[in-house]
A and B are shown apart, each in its own frame.
Chain A
């Protein structure tokens, strides 16, 4: 998943903005929960035995006759956890535009994170090597990894992925809480979607959910009045007449489902974005990144 120079220049203007502070692994650019020796004042604390006398605020001691030490905010890196749904609903050859858009989005987000030395962990739900950790200088291998995973998943077998279990496995491997970007079509029962997102929230992560839909999801099989519809995950077939009223009902159900997810996300402080996979991918990804509120 190579990015062209123009896209990279556009991405260079982005930076990660976290709503919360996290403990980081290394010195970085994000405000950390750790108190230490940064430049930004955080708080006063009563002197305790063992504190370095250098941090005693002597002016305050002169005014109040009490000994306080100054605490400063640390600036550390923040872990970015990219979670991409690798189930057949995204990776099936007939639907692979969704996967390509999701992978491109993940690549762009990872580039932004890696540009500011933030470590990125990529997990493909249902993938073979998941999750994978990528260091600060690992952008090119990350793109190749996503390409390889995409090709492997497209070749099949297209079997149903237990998305909740896959999410649990991915979440349990998180080492540092941080930002979690979940890219999926979320075309699962609502309780499964809730369970999915809950695993990351339980790991104290700032979760961003991107619902990546394809044109087929918005209007399945627009060219046929009667057809056999095949579930990409289960292979189940149903013969259905998708007349305008049926399409309308379908769109209504999809909108209700999306609204339910959005409602849950609002309650759970999860930033939810709905996106449609379109060409060109670069423009599509940048518009999604802008809408996510994660990047400035």
Chain B
């Protein structure tokens, strides 16, 4: 092992490097004693044979170019055979801290599971050899690196303190699979509350599963609090998810706020009886004064009980942002289109409401480019205001021949099964891509213009008939989810990873929790926690966006099915294992090939023939 300019070079079979001086000697012998350095054809060896043979070695050896080329090839091949590689000075360990919602569960008296995981990881780092390098990851829905690659132990400890609780589900299994296949990591240390089936401790993969809190059986298992207001904002419908084994009483209370920074007004609390495996619904009456947003939370009445995961015990609701509110521009009513069958959206009562609402244009087109999420169904023929064109009906385009399977709009459907009675060919706007094709051309385009998503379908989606036409129905639901769930209407379900804001919004920031920053990038925000986001608009109005997180799997702290380990076979690892170091064999072999090619080219250019001097 040789250290050179901060890089350590080592070989798996270093004894083979002894072949290099042997190769040099052999080559010199060949070129000097055997005289293959230069070959000359003579008429006859009649007299030359009689000359005294003197060893050429006595003379000064001036090696020709051929000698150097062959020497280079020999040395390169010997280096490659000896298994030369760039060694690392120490192990490179990937520390993966599970930061999903379930890690927010209380753990004894010392905080949460996440805190405990960080403590154990800190101890592991402190006990590891000082030469070890680390990369710290927080794993929830995404795998976020919290430190630079190959950090020292002190930097890794700092990064560990920076692991924040996430309110999202985890994808640990998927993240582990990618880390295990990454050759730069000698070992992967995982800190999680998830159980893994068939896990065998190995140096390559170390899973630290946090033991379940022994007091878990006394948990009340309130799994979520879902709050929906009625149309007038006079009643809050509260639904509690419960995962306990016996009925318990819970107190549902809340407070409402009129504007940002104002004092809260308490809502009269209610006691509800939680029934195992059933959702428990109740209603709350907010204060009669005008309120802007409310927080509802539930707690157990019996003080001897507690909820292991208090993070999911609250829900947020706003008054102004009518959740899932979508504007419909159509000659038909929502009932005629059966839009009331789609529970995820509410059609706005006033169709003349401003452009800020997501809009469905049924057999019509917007007058200008969409500024918010827009669904355009079977538009009339003619050009679109922001580019593209709707062509006339094509009789041969009734069947879908090709589609973009990767697009989320086409998940879980097989478009080839559908025959459209009426279809129009589209020329997609520049900001859109075709996702469905017929023999005559594209029939559906999806895109995003100035931060607003839009979908144009050249075929009819309505009336929504559910199971009667499952392909179209699933496509419609996918479209609603893709268009409207990331918008303001998405106040229920999984916490969205990114929300596209209307153009009129100039600023956005968290009201609750306080002191949490929210960056607006490219007209969208990436919320990290549930709460209330204040949106400031161009006209000075303020609007509020309620963000909730319902992760059924994460909220259920009972151990579910153990995760399967990644199929990657853990490799035996050592600090200098060539499998985890950068092998130079291919590079050396490549250079040797280039030298051979250069030698061949040289011979071709020089027009050498046999016997040419």
A interface residues with partner B (beta carbon < 8 Å): 89-90, 92-95, 98, 185, 187-189, 214, 216-217, 220-221, 223-234, 236-241, 243, 246, 249-250, 253-254, 257
From A214, A220, A234, A249, contact of B40 by CB (8 A): A220
Known contacts A94-B611, A221-B38, A226-B32; A187 and B53 CB within 8 A of each other: no
Chain B residues positioned under 8 Å from A221 (CB to CB): 38, 40, 42, 613
> Interface 1/0s, chain B 49-64, versus A by CB < 8 A?
1111111101111100
Chain A residues positioned under 8 Å from B40 (CB to CB): 94, 216, 220-221, 224, 227-230
Q: Are A232 and B44 in contact (CB under 8 A)?
A: yes
Q: Are A254 and B47 in contact (CB under 8 A)?
A: yes
Chain B residues positioned under 8 Å from A93 (CB to CB): 609, 611-612
Residue B516, interface by CB 8 Å? no
Residue B37, interface by CB 8 Å? yes
Q: Are A240 and B41 in contact (CB under 8 A)?
A: no
Chain A: minimal CB distance from B31 (Å) = 8
Known contacts A246-B54, A254-B47; A241 and B41 CB within 8 A of each other: no
Q: Which of A232, A254, A257 has the most CB of B within 10 A?
A: A232
Q: Are B54 and A231 in contact (CB under 8 A)?
A: no
Chain B residues positioned under 8 Å from A241 (CB to CB): 35, 54-56, 58-59
Interface of A is mostly: mixed
Q: Which of A92, A95, A189, A224 has the most CB of B within 10 A?
A: A224
From A214, A223, A234, contact of B613 by CB (8 A): A223
Chain B residues positioned under 8 Å from A232 (CB to CB): 41-44, 611
Q: Are A253 and B50 in contact (CB under 8 A)?
A: yes
- In Å, the complex CA distance between A161 and B552 comes to 98
- In Å, the complex CA distance between A233 and B42 comes to 9
- Give the total number of A-B pairs whose CB atoms are below 8 A apart: 126
Chain B residues positioned under 8 Å from A229 (CB to CB): 35, 40-42, 45, 48
Q: Are B37 and A227 in contact (CB under 8 A)?
A: yes
Q: Are B44 and A239 in contact (CB under 8 A)?
A: no
Q: Are B35 and A240 in contact (CB under 8 A)?
A: yes
Q: Are A185 and B43 in contact (CB under 8 A)?
A: yes
Chain A: minimal CB distance from B60 (Å) = 8
Q: Write 26 A-B pairs (CB below 8 A) sorted by A numbering.
A: A89-B44, A93-B611, A94-B40, A185-B43, A214-B43, A217-B42, A220-B40, A220-B42, A220-B48, A221-B38, A224-B40, A225-B56, A226-B32, A227-B37, A227-B39, A228-B39, A228-B40, A231-B42, A231-B45, A232-B43, A232-B44, A238-B49, A239-B36, A240-B48, A246-B52, A246-B54
Chain B residues positioned under 8 Å from A233 (CB to CB): 43-44
Known contacts A223-B613, A230-B611, A250-B51; A188 and B38 CB within 8 A of each other: no
Q: Are A239 and B47 in contact (CB under 8 A)?
A: no
Q: Are A257 and B45 in contact (CB under 8 A)?
A: no
4 smallest beta-carbon distances between A and B, as pairs: A239-B35, A221-B40, A227-B38, A226-B56
Q: Which of B35, B58, B60 has the most CB of A within 10 A?
A: B35
Chain A: minimal CB distance from B390 (Å) = 76
